[in-house]
Amino acid sequence: MVDPLPRERRALALAVGELRARRRMTQEELAHAAGVSRNYIGELEQARRATTFEALILVARGLNVPLAELVATFEARLLDME
């Protein structure tokens, strides 16, 4: 099956990785803070996992950023791809 949103998935991967790096967190630290597995964060950052709105809320909380900041970073990375 072809991914219908490859650019969007990659932009989200970049956004999560960027915000995590800014906070100097490991994937394991983010996973623990968000209440998800390290594999989940790794797959998300590698653009190999689709996600849910609820999971994005958990990731934003784990990063200690408003969901709006995660979305804004996603939008910025998406624009960078144009």
pLDDT digits (tens), the chain, 82 positions: 565 678 999 999 999 999 999 999 999 999 999 999 999 999 999 999 889 999 999 999 999 999 999 999 999 999 998 8
Q: What is the pLDDT of residue 4?
A: 66
Number of domains in the chain: 1
Q: What is the pLDDT of residue 49?
A: 87
What distance in Å separates the CA atoms of residue 53 and residue 80, rounded to the nearest whole number?
A: 23
Q: Is 1 a member of any domain?
A: no
DSSP state of 65: S
Q: Is 37 a member of any domain?
A: yes
Domain of 45? 6-80
Type of residue numbered 37? S
* Two structure tokens written together for 26: 């490991």
Q: What is the pLDDT of residue 15?
A: 98
CATH code for the domain of 27: 1.10.260.40
pTM score: 0.91
What distance in Å separates the CA atoms of residue 24 and residue 76, rounded to the nearest whole number?
A: 20
Q: What is the pLDDT of residue 81?
A: 87
